[in-house]
């Protein structure tokens, strides 16, 4: 691990904010690091306000999208809400369809089959629309590159509205409206919305034309918050407002589908991290193991008993998914070792029998072992399909673009992408991908980095400090949970390896004889020798609460020790 201490912010700004807010210097410093330098800025940060959301009509083509939907409703047209099979796609479809259905009955939903149709807008979906006399498709979390699909639909007299957040190609589809803040010609002030976020802006625009306010839409924000967490978009500015209020809905007034999931896991108050690790994998598992329709059905269900039944099915899909990704990860690791591919700048593996629904998860798991840009391929019909994952700081999308001569189709983000290619091109692609990455990556990016916000002493960790710290949530990209470093630590004699396989480390530490606080380090069991016999060490950690037998205490959640 590389430990990087973030530069200290301007001391004058820190001093000023310390006085204005009446907080300690460390808290003020953390705020200034996040670009918050005034009392008003801190108020906006700690109390995100729905009234600060941008006017949806600032987004290019929003007026056209709203006008086309209004026309469809007046003319009693059938509308199809189309979305991808992942969390962002299924929450988007649930959001848009359930909102439209509150006042208009001719709405149907469509999620493409991961295996029969693949990612994004499909010809099969358009044919389905034609067969069912649907004349308007609202595509969410996909469509920005569906130039041929939109042209195909146009020939069939089917109109498209696209709500996407992926990077456009050189050409924009000729749809009635293309809502995507990443369009170069779109002046919308916030560029980092997820697909469900763009869908919510369309709902917000439709609602405003009917005289509704943001207060009328709060109950939909649980879906938006879930998509924000699952799609790993920055939790800054508009996303922070949406995630903050969406979490309140999940915790205080969850829709029956979420309530059914929460009853299964016996969890009361959810953070954005819980949404990412508890709710999102279950919603995702439907599309991975069976069909994304199951997720939409659960999210739209209003009857609690039926929701509980659907949640049981989804829980089983998630169990199957866990078993598959564990087995395939093991097989991939063996393949890497057998082929002596531990060296190099990339990891590229392929097996025709691997489950297409979990290769993205497997790619992330492989990065935990071999920290480098990773592609996991499997057979999908006549082509090979892959999920790509990257390491922090390296744009895998750009690397794939440089290999496009061998690729049939690809799309995605800086850190995660999907692609297909012909089997005959696999070896040539693999060599070129390794070459492109080796020539463009900074070698230090192949060593995981811990960015440390501040160096503090143990005595600063008080209940009051933690209370303020917890108000920095929701955490995520652009506003990560603060990481601290403390030096001159000593184990008080209780340090030990814990867990079934003794892979975790637990100790109680003091600093210069002051204070005692528990530290827990998952996966750090092999570092026990560093703390034995009262050796001094330093730790990088976040701070959280430990709930045990009705008692609540602060603890260090260790990232690394040296």
Answer yes or no: CATH 3.90.1640.30 is held by domain 56-313: yes
- Using CA atoms, how far residue 199 sits from 92, 140, 211, in Å, is 6, 7, 19
Read off the pLDDT band of 245 (50, 70, 90). Answer: very high
Percent of the chain with pLDDT over 70: 100
pLDDT mean over 78-100: 97
Residues 468-521: tens digit of each pLDDT: 999 999 999 899 999 999 999 999 988 999 998 999 999 999 999 887 899 999
Higher pLDDT, 75 or 264: 75
Are residues 247 and 474 in contact, defined by beta-carbon separation less than 8 angstroms? yes
Closest CA to 538 of 504, 514, 511, 520: 511
Q: Cα–Cα distance between 110 and 123 in angstroms, integer? A: 12
Q: Residue 128 to residues 71, 79, 120, 121, 124: CA-CA distances in angstroms?
A: 22, 12, 15, 12, 6
pLDDT at 346 over 90: yes
Quote the CA–CA distance of 470 and 460 in Å, as a whole number. 15
For 453, phi and psi rounded to 5 degrees?
A: -75, -40
Q: How confident is the model at residue 208 (pLDDT cuts 50, 70, 90)?
A: very high
What whole-number distance in Å separates Cα of residue 183 and Cα of residue 268? Answer: 40
- 339-446 maps to CATH 3.10.310.30: yes
Residue 269 confidence (pLDDT) above 90:
no
Domain boundaries, the chain: 56-313, 339-446, 450-562
Contact 61, 177 (CB under 8 A): yes
CB–CB of 45/31 below 8 Å? Answer: yes
Per residue in 114-159, pLDDT (tens digit) is 888 888 999 999 999 999 999 999 999 999 999 999 999 999 999 9
Q: Is 10's pLDDT higher than 80?
A: yes
CATH architecture of 450-562: Beta Barrel (2.40)
What confidence score (pLDDT) does residue 494 get? 84
Please report the pLDDT score of residue 213 as a whole number. 96
DSSP state of 336: H
User: What is the rounded distance in angstroms from the CA atom of residue 234 to the CA atom of residue 225?
Assistant: 12
* Cβ(6)–Cβ(453) below 8 Å: yes
pLDDT at 209: 96
pLDDT digits over 367-395, tens only? 999 999 999 999 998 999 999 999 999 99
Q: What is the pLDDT of residue 171?
A: 95
Residue 181 CA to residue 167 CA, distance in Å, equals 9
Residue with tokens 């939790």: 235
pLDDT at 97: 98
Q: What is the mean pLDDT of residues 1-29?
A: 95
Nearest 5°: CA angle at 363, between 401 and 448? 90
Rounded-to-integer distance, Cα 398 and Cα 83, Å: 25
Q: Residue 309 has what pLDDT?
A: 96
Does residue 32 contact residue 14 with C-beta atoms inside 8 Å? yes
Query: Which tens digit of pLDDT belongs to each residue from 158-197?
Result: 999 999 999 898 999 999 999 999 999 999 999 999 999 9
Task: Give the end-to-end CA distance of the chain in Å, rounded to a whole number.
Answer: 10
Q: Are 272 and 474 in contact, with CB atoms under 8 Å apart?
A: yes
- Please give the pLDDT value at position 199: 98
Closest CA to 61 of 207, 191, 174: 174
Nearest alpha carbon to residue 217 among 242, 181, 190? 242
Bridge partners of residue 386, in order along the sequence:
377, 419
Q: Classify each residue of 218-238 as buried b or exposed e, where b means 16 or more C-beta atoms within 10 Å of its C-beta.
A: eebbbbbbbbbbbbebbbbbb
So what's the pLDDT on residue 551? 86
Answering whether pTM is above 0.85, one says yes
pLDDT the model gives residue 547: 82
SS (H, E, C) 165-202: CCCCCCCCCCCCEEECCCCCCCCCCCCCCCHHHHHHHH
Ramachandran region, residue 420 (left: φ > 0; alpha: ψ -120 to 50; beta: rest) = beta
CA pair distance 40, 441, nearest whole angstrom: 40
Task: Measure the CA–CA gap between 371 and 384, rounded to whole angstroms.
Answer: 24
- Looking at every residue in the chain, the average pLDDT score rounds to 95
Alpha carbon distance 558, 104 (integer Å): 52
pLDDT at 342 over 80: no
Identify the helix (H) or strand (E) that includes residue 77.
none
Asked if the model's pLDDT at residue 340 lies above 80, the reply is: no
* H or E, element range at 306: helix 304-338
In DSSP terms, 349 is beta-bridged to 376
The answer for 410, left when phi > 0, alpha when psi is -120 to 50, beta otherwise, is beta
The count of C-alpha atoms lying within 13 angstroms of the C-alpha of 43, restricted to the half-sphere facing its C-beta, is 5
Identify the pLDDT of residue 475: 94
| Sign of the alpha-carbon dihedral angle for 238, 244, 247, 249 | negative
pLDDT digits (tens, 9 = 90+) for 405-419: 999 988 888 888 999
What mean pLDDT is predicted for residues 222-242?
Answer: 95
Q: How far apart are CA 243 and CA 241, in angstroms?
A: 6
Q: Please indicate whether residue 18 or residue 169 has the higher confidence score (pLDDT).
A: 18
* pLDDT (0 to 100) of residue 482: 97
Q: Which residue has the tokens 């779109």?
A: 186
Which pLDDT belongs to residue 412? 80
């Amino acid at each position: 691990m590389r430990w990087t201490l973030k530069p200290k912010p301007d001391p004058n700004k820190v001093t000023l904010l310390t006085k204005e807010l009446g907080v300690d210097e460390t808290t003020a410093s953390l705020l200034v690091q996040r670009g918050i330098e005034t009392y008003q800025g801190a108020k906006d940060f700690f109390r995100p306000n729905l009234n600060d959301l941008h006017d949806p009509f600032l987004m290019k083509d929003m007026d056209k999208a709203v006008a086309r939907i209004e026309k469809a409703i007046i003319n009693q047209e059938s509308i199809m809400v189309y979305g991808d099979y992942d969390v962002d796609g299924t929450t988007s479809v649930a959001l848009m369809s359930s909102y439209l259905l509150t006042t208009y009955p001719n709405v149907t939903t469509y999620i493409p089959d991961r295996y029969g149709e693949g990612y994004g807008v499909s010809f099969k979906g358009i044919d389905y629309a034609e067969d069912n006399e649907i004349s308007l498709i609202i595509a969410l979390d996909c469509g920005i590159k569906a130039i041929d699909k939109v042209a195909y639909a146009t020939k069939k007299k089917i109109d498209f509205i696209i709500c996407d957040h992926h990077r456009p190609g050189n050409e924009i589809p000729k749809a009635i409206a293309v809502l995507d803040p990443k369009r170069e010609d779109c002046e919308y002030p916030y560029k980092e919305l997820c697909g469900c976020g763009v869908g919510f802006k369309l709902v917000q625009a439709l609602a405003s034309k009917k005289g509704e306010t943001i207060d009328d839409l709060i109950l939909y924000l649980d879906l938006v918050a879930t998509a924000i967490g699952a799609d790993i978009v920055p939790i800054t500015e508009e996303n922070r407002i949406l995630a903050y209020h969406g979490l309140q809905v999940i915790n205080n007034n969850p829709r029956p589908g979420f309530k059914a999931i929460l009853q299964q896991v016996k969890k009361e108050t959810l953070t954005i991290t819980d949404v990412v690790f508890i709710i999102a994998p279950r919603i995702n598992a439907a599309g991975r193991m069976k069909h994304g329709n199951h997720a939409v059905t659960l999210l739209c269900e209003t009857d609690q008993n039926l929701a509980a039944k659907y949640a049981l099915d989804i829980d089983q899909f998630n169990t199957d998914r866990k078993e598959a990704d564990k087995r395939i990860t093991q097989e991939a690791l063996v393949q890497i070792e057998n082929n002596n591919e531990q060296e190099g700048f990339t990891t590229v593996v392929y097996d025709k029998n691997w489950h297409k629904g979990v290769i993205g998860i497997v790619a992330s798991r492989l990065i935990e072992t071999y920290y480098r840009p990773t592609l996991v391929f499997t057979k999908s019909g006549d082509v090979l399909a892959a999920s790509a994952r990257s390491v922090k700081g390296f744009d895998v999308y750009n690397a794939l673009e440089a290999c496009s001569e061998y690729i049939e189709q690809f799309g995605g983000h800086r850190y995660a992408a999907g692609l297909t290619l012909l089997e005959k091109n696999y070896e040539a692609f693999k060599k070129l991908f390794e070459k492109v990455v080796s020539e463009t990556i900074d070698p230090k990016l192949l060593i995981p980095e811990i960015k440390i916000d501040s160096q503090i002493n143990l005595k600063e960790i008080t209940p009051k400090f933690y209370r303020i710290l917890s108000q920095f949530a929701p955490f995520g990209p652009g506003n990560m949970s603060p990481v601290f470093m403390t030096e001159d630590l000593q184990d008080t004699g209780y340090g030990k390896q814990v867990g079934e396989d003794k892979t975790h480390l637990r100790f109680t530490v003091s600093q210069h004889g002051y204070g005692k606080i528990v530290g827990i380090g998952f996966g750090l069991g092999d570092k026990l020798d560093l703390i034995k016999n009262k050796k001094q060490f330093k730790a990088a950690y976040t701070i959280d609460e430990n709930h045990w037998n009705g008692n609540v205490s602060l603890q260090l959640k260790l990232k690394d020790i040296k």
